Amino acid sequence: MIENAATVAFGILGVAALLCLVRMIRGPRLADRIVALDTLLLMVVSGIAVRAAVTGDDTYLDVMVVAALLAFTGTSMVANFIEKRGS
């Protein structure tokens, strides 16, 4: 059960991450790119959680916490940059 669910979830998350990547490349503004990057990191976090669920191996859960924190830090830094320099 969990193996099949994890395979399906990985597939869906992969498609979603690909769509985010397309938006990140196409832009057109810096704000679009950073919003897409934030969402992409959310999907990376979800993927790590799915992997931990299917293997029962919780080594990478620390990486997940750091990735979630870095997503916020990066977004606020770029927002600060846009505020100062314009997009």
Partner 1 sequence: MEVVGSVLLVFGALLALLAAIGLQRFDDVFARMHSATKPATLGLMLVLGGAALVIQAPGAVSKLVLVVLLQFITAPVAAHLVGRAAYRAGTELSPDTIVDDVAAEFLGRPIVSEE
List residues binding partner 1 (CB under 8 A).
Answer: 1-2, 4-6, 8-10, 12-13, 15-20, 22-23, 29, 31-32, 34-36, 38-39, 42-43, 45-46, 49-50, 52-54, 56, 58, 61-62, 64-65, 68-69, 71-72, 75-76, 78-80, 82-83, 86-87
Cα distance between residue 66 and residue 54, in whole Å: 21
C-alpha neighbours within 13 Å on the C-beta side of residue 79: 9
Which residue in 50, 41, 48, 30 sits closest to 69, CA to CA? 41
Smallest separation (angstroms) from partner 1 to the CB of 66: 10
